[in-house]
Structure 1
Amino acid sequence: MKLPTGIAYRPMIAHAVVLAVAALASGWLVARQLYPLLLITIPLMVLEFYRILHQYGDSVRRITFMFNAIDSDDLSFRFNEDPSKVDNTMLNAALNRIKEILTRTKLRAEERERYYQLIMESAQTGLITVNDTGSVYQANSEALRIFGLQLLTHIRQLEGTVPEAARALAAIRPGEKLRVTCSTETGEMALTLGCSEITLEDRHRRVISVSDINSEVSEIQIESWSKLSRILTHEIMNSLAPVTSLSNTLLHIDRPLDPDVRRGLETISATSRRLVSFVDSYRRFTRIPAPQREPFEVRELIRQAVALTAAAGDAPQIHVDIEPADTMIYADKAQLGQVAVNLLKNAREATAGRPTGEIWIRSRIDAAEHVIIEFSNNGGAIPAEVAENIFTPFYTTKPDGSGIGLSLSRRIMQLHGGSLRLTSNTDHRVTFTLQIG
């Protein structure tokens, strides 16, 4: 902000002294009845009085200018303190000092705001600050992720996608805790809400915490199973190694063995090999490497998955709908390809033997610019007791299944910052949905 220029004035004290002297002189001339000389003193008094008023007005204008600048949040001004150019340097220095104090205070306030914003962004829980009318002052990235939004300015924005959450956010009051279940395009969310109150600038605001229980429980389960699997596989392999080695050595010694003993050793050796293969499949679940991301097209991912799972005989009809057709994703192509193959293989098995079996693969981009890929089939609903455990590691209903396909796929999606959910389970359609962040 540029300070208006003006002329320099003599110090106000000098004007006051001259005015006082002129007034005394005028009084003395009146007492002596030297009236003609009043033509000199009276104009001098008027002139000095005018100068005092003018300098006072200049000081008031400077102070007013400073307050207007502060009110406009503009602290770029600075008054001239050079004695060779201005006389009222003490006032200018005082005003500049006030400006410097305000500038430091503003910088400290901005640093505190950045600090609190960093804390909000570092929180693993969604945090939203709203007023009594529902206007959102702040929403951290975790809250935006939970609701699938890029920007949240009012809770009414949630009425179209998660109306249950919108009503809960409007209704919750300080000290309350609510649990809300919401159905979204990517599956069901179980949200927990907590509320606190704060007064800022004489206005009441509510700070609402939002957590997705399903997501948290899923991550805890996966991590727990991973730790358990590492321990079990280590112990099993330590026990199997000498059994396998010893049985193979005995089978190949240079002397004839009793037929019953040979059959027993062959059974032990074969069983050991099967157990080693079984344990190796579990190791894949606990040793997923960090994703090596690269850009590639969704249609190429789907094309390869369809080719890799192609089966002879009566194969179900596969419908692919990718919108837009050139959708790109940035992920580990091999890992995401494994997820697509697992889901498509399960869909083929579900529709096997059905003359009207069909599979639908649909890709789209949601409002938050996440890529959503759905794998659907009409092979019949998954039983409720099975659906509850399909993502549990090592749980399987297949005689030769390892039970790690879906749990491994979900873990891969979590490592990509995405999710895998069962979003539809009816007799007419079963849908697994991938969300790629």
Structure 2
Amino acid sequence: MTELSYEQLKEKYAALERELQLYKGLLKQFCFPFKYVDYKLGLSIEKCREYPDPIIHSFHPDETKTSEFNFQIDPQIDCPFEQIESFLTPILDLVPHHIVFVDGNGMITLCNLQAANDMGVDRDSIIGKHIRDLLQLPDELIMTLKTIETNEPIYNQEVFDRYYGIINTRIIHNPDGTIKRVISMFQSLNMIKETEKLSLAGRIAAGIAHEIRNPLTTVRGYLQFFKDQLPKDIVNLIDKLLIPELDRANEIITDFLNIAKPRELKTEKIHINKFIRDDLGILLRSEALLHNVTVHYHLDEQLANYEVEIDKNQLLQVFLNLFRNSIEAKVAKTMNVSISSKLHNNNMVKIKFCDDGPGIPPAIVEHIFDPFFSTKETGTGLGLSLSRKIIELHKGSMKVESSNDGTCFIIELPVIKKQPSK
């Protein structure tokens, strides 16, 4: 075995010293307390939060025990909060309430998908903006800013502006007592209100179906039975007025029942652009020609890699309802309807059905999805309510924007990325 020269030994020990300094420097960077015990070596190394340098202890070796490593991490102190927010974001995206984190200046650092979708903003673009840019409210109405101002959390406070619901805020402080984050969670009660309305509709529907449908069927049957024995003018009255009116009443009852207890979905995975262009396009073509309406399509090519799971017949019914509403609102000789699709946040498709009609008056636009609300003399006020119910059964959402330049219904549905072929 060749002996090392003095210079070689000196160089080797210098290398070992540099390596030792590297390990010491690494351990100093660990900001959290820890303790590592190596029983075979008879050594332990321990670091406390109060002292930056690790402390080494020696003891009698024990070959029967294995090494141990214990540590204590306080996320608020030991981790950059941006990393915690990055970790929490996909988890909070699953929460059906609005969750927003802001810093001590009211700047947004985290916004979950539910909040971004309901506010109609792109989640990535709103990060770093002031919370007023998200809520579009005066500062004095924003409870999160009130928490920053008073340095006091809010517990279960009702909000009575256009976002009716319950808000809670909590504060995370820096070690020096200043505000690191204010966490706000808003629970919308609008869905509960809608559920109560639909529950009322269900009770009314059940009563009507029980008390009226059977007599209507009986009357219609006897009219059919006796019309061969009646004069021609009475038969014409039966065929052109009485039976159609009985059928219309029966259709109203059917709509009631569909709101109260919708039909079971028979879903299939399809390409949404293909559905709009082919299935819906073919259905609208003859109606558009008949009513002098031009239909334009603007479809996002990115959606070629995504699928939606839908009941085609029920979704077609939604768009037919929207198309017929546009036709009934038409005041000019011609009308333009545009149908667009857009990939949104990589997990939703945003479909816009827009017309250039006269628009919906601002005073009633917030009521158009209410059951039984209608501005038409012969309308039941159930078409849009039933349409939104169908979209919600598809785990989507439906809302409306309207002005003097026209009306736009915005439908969002979840999409699934297609798996590559093997």
In the superposition, the TM-score normalised over structure 1's length comes to: 0.60
1:207 has 2:166 as partner:
no
Match of 2:408 in 1: 431
Equivalent positions of 1:121-270 (< 5 A) are 124-134=96-106, 139-147=111-119, 148-150=121-123, 154-156=127-129, 164=137, 168=142, 171-173=145-147, 174-175=152-153, 194-199=168-173, 201-203=175-177, 204=179, 205-211=181-187, 216-217=189-190, 219-240=191-212, 243-244=215-216, 247=219
Deviation at 1:282, TM superposition (A): 1.6
Q: State percent identity of aligned pairs.
A: 16
The structure richer in strand per residue is 2
Q: Among residues 325, 335, 339, which one is paired with 2:318 in the alignment? A: 339
266-275 vs 402-411, which deviates more?
266-275
CA contact under 8 A between 2:341 and 2:351: conserved in structure 1?
yes
SS in 1 for 2:264: coil
CA contact under 8 A between 2:167 and 2:186: conserved in structure 1?
yes
Match of 2:254 in 1: 280
- CA gap of 1:77–1:410, structure 2 versus 1, over 3 A, is same
The 1-side partners of 2:406 and 2:109 are apart by: 41
Deviation at 1:391, TM superposition (A): 0.9
Deviation at 1:410, TM superposition (A): 1.4
Deviation at 1:226, TM superposition (A): 2.6
- CA gap of 1:164–1:375, structure 2 versus 1, over 3 A, is same
The 2-side partners of 1:431 and 1:363 are apart by: 13
CA contact under 8 A between 2:97 and 2:115: conserved in structure 1?
yes
The 1-side partners of 2:200 and 2:38 are apart by: 71
Deviation at 1:380, TM superposition (A): 1.0
- CA gap of 1:70–1:124, structure 2 versus 1, over 3 A, is same
Deviation at 1:273, TM superposition (A): 5.5
- CA gap of 1:243–1:295, structure 2 versus 1, over 3 A, is closer
1:304 has 2:279 as partner:
yes
Match of 2:40 in 1: 81
- CA gap of 1:270–1:393, structure 2 versus 1, over 3 A, is same
SS in 2 for 1:423: strand
Q: Among residues 343, 348, 351, which one is paired with 1:365 in the alignment? A: 343
The structure richer in helix per residue is 1
CA contact under 8 A between 2:355 and 2:407: conserved in structure 1?
yes
Larger radius of gyration: 1
CA contact under 8 A between 1:421 and 1:433: conserved in structure 2?
yes
- CA gap of 1:96–1:242, structure 2 versus 1, over 3 A, is closer
Q: Which runs of 5+ in 2 are unaligned?
A: 1-19, 43-57, 415-422
Equivalent positions of 1:336-415 (< 5 A) are 336-351=315-330, 354-366=332-344, 370-415=348-393
162-171 vs 200-209, which deviates more?
162-171
Deviation at 1:150, TM superposition (A): 5.0
1:422 has 2:396 as partner:
no
391-400 vs 236-245, which deviates more?
236-245
